[in-house]
Amino acid sequence: MIRSLIYVIKQAFLQIVRNRAMSSASLFSITAMLLILGMFFILAVNVNLISENAKRQFDTIQIYLLDTAEWPPVADMIRQLDAMPEVSTAEFVNKDQALTELKVRWGDNGYLLDGLNKNPLPNSIRVKVKQLEYADVVVQKARTFEGIEDIKYYQSTVDKLISVTNAIQMAALVIIVFLVVVSVVVVSNTIKLTVLAREREISIMKYIGATNWFIRGPFLTEGILMGLISAALSAGIVAFIYTKIVRSMSQQAAVLFSSGMVPEEFLIFNLVWVFIALGVSIGALGSMLSMRRFLDT
pLDDT tens figures, 37-59: 788 778 777 777 777 776 666 77
Tell me the three state secondary structure of residue 243: helix
Say if residue 139 is in the same domain as residue 95: yes
The Cα 37–Cα 274 span in angstroms is 10
281 and 216 fall within a common domain? yes
How many C-beta atoms surround the C-beta of residue 270 within 10 A? Answer: 13
| Structural domain count of the chain | 2
User: Phi and psi at residue 232, in whole multiples of 5°?
Assistant: -65, -45
185 is a domain residue: yes
Same domain as 64, residue 49: no
> Is residue 175 domain-shared with residue 285, that is, in the same domain?
yes
Q: At which of 153, 174, 209 does a domain end?
A: 153
Q: Assess whether 73 and 39 both reside in one domain.
A: no
Most confident listed range (176-180, 219-223, 276-280)? 276-280
Q: Do 139 and 170 have their domain in common?
A: no
Domain of residue 87, residue span: 59-153
Q: Which of 101, 121, 153 is the last residue of a domain?
A: 153
User: What is the spatial distance between Cα 34 and Cα 13, in angstroms, rounded to a whole number?
Assistant: 22
Query: Do 78 and 45 share a structural domain?
Result: no
Q: How many residues does the chain have?
A: 297
Instruction: Please report the pLDDT score of residue 255 as a whole number.
Output: 46
262 lies in a domain? Answer: yes
Q: What is the pLDDT of residues 108-120, one digit of tens each?
A: 777 767 777 788 8
Q: Is 96 helix (H, G, I), strand (E, B) or coil?
A: helix
Both 209 and 123 in one domain: the answer is no
pLDDT at 125: 92
CB 216, CB 292: distance < 8 Å:
no
Residue 297 lies in a domain: no
pLDDT tens digits for range 183-235 = 677 766 766 666 666 667 667 767 777 676 676 777 777 778 878 888 888 88
H, E, C per residue of 31-91: HHHHHHHHHHHHHHHHHHHHHHHHHHHCCEEEEEECCCCCHHHHHHHHHHHHHCCCEEEEE
Q: Specify the pTM.
A: 0.59
Convert the pLDDT of each residue in 236-266 to its tens digit.
Answer: 888 888 888 777 765 555 444 445 677 777 7
Beta-strand pair 124-129/87-93: antiparallel
Give how far Cα 78 sits from Cα of 16, 74, 75, 121, 126, Å. 72, 6, 5, 19, 9
Q: Is the pLDDT of residue 84 over 90?
A: yes
> Which ranges constitute the DSSP H helices of the chain?
2-18, 20-57, 71-83, 95-106, 135-142, 155-197, 199-207, 212-257, 264-291
Domain end position, chosen among 121, 137, 153: 153
Determine, yes or no, domain membership for 28: yes
72 and 167 both lie in a single domain: no
Q: Give domain status of residue 190, yes or no.
A: yes
- Tell whether the model's pLDDT for residue 133 goes beyond 50: yes
pLDDT tens-digit readout, 5-26: 666 666 666 766 666 676 777 7
**Residue 296 in domain:** no
